[in-house]
Amino acid sequence: MIEKKRIEGVERAHRTHLDKFYAFHKPESDLESLNKSLRAWEWVYNHVRPHRSLDNMSPKQYIDTNCSQLSPIVSHILNPYNTVY
């Protein structure tokens, strides 16, 4: 039997998304509208919402404070709408 390993950070993120996003955003009639709402939520999750595991900082604040060498990298966390700067 294969032992199932828990990935607590991922499982916690899924629970947060279920409780804070999907509980309030019912499936939209079109996928584009749902994706737009989800991208807005992801921005709040990564830029505004404090995370206990990150000393009550948002992921963006944590990266800026503790991983300054990563800050200039454009990723989905820093650039959720895939815009070109």
Token pair listed for 8: 């607590």
pTM score, two decimals?
A: 0.65
Q: Which one is predicted more confidently, 25 or 41?
A: 41
Q: What angle do CA 61, 67, 71 make, to 5 degrees?
A: 70
Give the distance from CA 70 to its chain's centroid: 17
Mean pLDDT (the chain, rounded) = 76
Q: What is the pLDDT of residues 42-82, one digit of tens each?
A: 899 999 999 988 999 998 899 888 887 765 555 555 555 55
